[in-house]
Structure 1
């Protein structure tokens, strides 16, 4: 009878230790892979169904490549331990994905994508990675370089997303905050990697792995959520614009103007500030439509709206009430000050020639009214401004008429 040879206890112990060492890495890579896949799928859906924005497609590519990176890392850990090929490939993917995050941020803000510059810097970085892993025997550079490059890309994304001409909204602030945290984490990880030194340092490697294992899943997931939050915020803004904006001129529509004006009136009443409303329209607009067609009428409306809007401050409100009638709400302004502002605009419009064909000129009339303590709603002051506009029409058009002025109160609308 043949006896079975027992398996060495040492071999069993070693196998268990290897399995235990591998399990945390496999779990982390699995979490990162599924996170990247979910983010990629969500951004593809956003791109398909919500306007096909280029930045959504770019970020979808970034997270799709991120999922591929985690697969390559898993293959390197489980099937090709100690070999540099999967590490080089995964590092190259990190260079590409971090560049795509910055490119997508620039696309969202309407800045040039600068594909050539990013391709050049990324190509140089990948070449450096190949040299580090094949020619240089330096553990610190291997652990730190890729993370430092990714950290350098993140501030570019933050700088592109934060607007320069308005106050950042909540999704933009959240994106900037999370990407900044991710950049700080990548910088810290890169510096910890460099501290390992040229030769393997057991204590340094353990410190690096600890920082990597604890921080990377949270930082990566947080960054992905911030990107989705930003896309959702953009969608919300687009839907709000559809409800409150005039599609032809880009100004507020009547609903949007009334909502904003009601808030402005409450602010003026609370702080004891003056407020003025200007109503204006194009003289003989129906004749322009009848003689030259609706396309010419649309060009006249756009030119009129652009010139009126350009003559006021950023904090003032401007909207289209309907047809060729528009309205301005000037904050902290007396009616006389508002009349001075709009009178300059009226003269500019009278000297304007609308591009064609056919080319034509136009004039406009305006009515101005000031906010009174007895005004209960926006319709009250709007009615007086509309009546002043009627007086301008009755007096021969191409003029500005001021309705009942406010009692003398200081204002800051003089321009």
Structure 2
């Protein structure tokens, strides 16, 4: 088998395997839009390498035109998918219009003029610029890059540089044979490794996103979207360690809805779910960034307020208590909801969340015993 045949087979096989992997990830793990877009990108890559092989072995100008067009489509879809994943706005026309212009230019350069210099300059230049845009879009705005993102970012930059190097080397082509060696060397030595690396990195990014999604699902309550008991315990361990390390106050609040069972029995479980979601949302909005909200089970919630002593935490919960009665929720009559709160500050002997839970539970019991719909501090219980 000749060198070009081996090279094209490798690139075709990479596109096939990547397309299948991304299609499976889309179908079975969340149906994320950017994964579907990347699947279409590498699907276009399959057509690209088939057309490239046909053009090379049959010396068909039409197949080279198809190769150029499918490469533009593949690169555009890759860039669109990265913007979708990053949560950035996607203006389809901003991609479609220049892509169409470039495709027309490719058809004219190859089909009308048969100009290999134009062909070798137009396609790599546009694809290189698209890849640079993709790399810029991949960079997160509010966090550090994950290792798979770093790998994909590096591959996109290398891919872009390789394409731009191809465009520059095309300017040295003077005839059917003169100056082609540099172009072919860049194409044969750089392209396979970078193309395969980009495909693997894209799959790793999808796998990393899936792992992060699964970790988040394991730590969060599906109904209220706050932390579950496991997530609360993990976050509490870090919060307690940080409070001790910096000698800062920390308070735990345990609260629940008064008469929640009666609400469920009277208005139904859907009303109960609305009440839980509304209460969780109110708690989340009431605390600061960095504070922790979790559902401990049933209608019981736990909050860790950092840099807050028991009295400061009680003041915050008092405001929440007053707002609970004014929550307007579907299937829940206005004024139905009430809540009780137990507050416990971190003490010198506390080592785990359970140490604080014991006292906060006792304070909550006191609040219930005194008539409900109130805030009780553990030291006063």
Same fold at TM > 0.5: yes
Return 88-97 or 67-76, whichever deviates more. Answer: 67-76
Equivalents in 1 of 2:35, 2:104: separation in Å?
29
Aligned equivalent of 2:129, options 152, 161, 184: 152
**Deviations 1:17-42 (Å, cap 9, x if unpaired)?**
xxxxx932222111111111111121
8 Å contact from structure 1 (residues 246, 320) kept in 2: yes
Gaps of 5+ in 1: 1-21, 406-415
What are the within-5 Å matches in structure 2 for residues 70-219 of structure 1? 70-80=49-59, 83-109=60-86, 114-135=91-112, 139-193=116-170, 195-196=171-172, 199-200=174-175, 204-219=179-194
Higher Cα Rg: structure 1 or 2?
Answer: 1
Equivalents in 2 of 1:343, 1:96: separation in Å?
58
- Kindly tell me: are residues 163 and 305 of structure 1, through their superposed partners in 2, closer, same or farther at Cα, counting changes over 3 Å? farther
Distance apart, 1:201 and its partner CA: 8.7
Equivalents in 2 of 1:40, 1:56: separation in Å?
10
Gaps of 5+ in 2: none
- Number of corresponding residues: 380
**Tell me, what secondary structure is at the counterpart of 1:298?**
helix
- Kindly tell me: are residues 201 and 276 of structure 1, through their superposed partners in 2, closer, same or farther at Cα, counting changes over 3 Å? farther
Matched, 1:221 2:200: no
What are the within-5 Å matches in structure 2 for residues 319-334 of structure 1? 319-334=294-309
**Tell me, what secondary structure is at the counterpart of 1:215?**
helix
Equivalents in 2 of 1:324, 1:398: separation in Å?
14
Aligned equivalent of 1:243, options 195, 218, 221: 218
**Deviations 1:84-142 (Å, cap 9, x if unpaired)?**
22211101001111111122223434556544443333222211222332455754432
- Show the counterpart of 1:42: 21
**Deviations 1:335-385 (Å, cap 9, x if unpaired)?**
333334333333333332223475555232222222222112110012222
Equivalents in 2 of 1:332, 1:338: separation in Å?
9
**Tell me, what secondary structure is at the counterpart of 1:401?**
strand
Equivalents in 2 of 1:104, 1:75: separation in Å?
28
**Tell me, what secondary structure is at the counterpart of 1:333?**
coil
Return 70-79 or 40-49, whichever deviates more. Answer: 40-49
Return 289-298 or 62-71, whichever deviates more. Answer: 62-71
8 Å contact from structure 1 (residues 354, 360) kept in 2: no
- Kindly tell me: are residues 137 and 38 of structure 1, through their superposed partners in 2, closer, same or farther at Cα, counting changes over 3 Å? closer
State the superposition RMSD in angstroms: 2.7
- Show the counterpart of 2:279: 304
**Deviations 1:41-77 (Å, cap 9, x if unpaired)?**
2122222322333332322222122122112111111
- Show the counterpart of 1:401: 376
Q: TM-score, normalised by structure 2?
A: 0.89
Q: TM-score, normalised by structure 1?
A: 0.82
**Tell me, what secondary structure is at the counterpart of 2:2?**
helix
Equivalents in 2 of 1:224, 1:84: separation in Å?
28
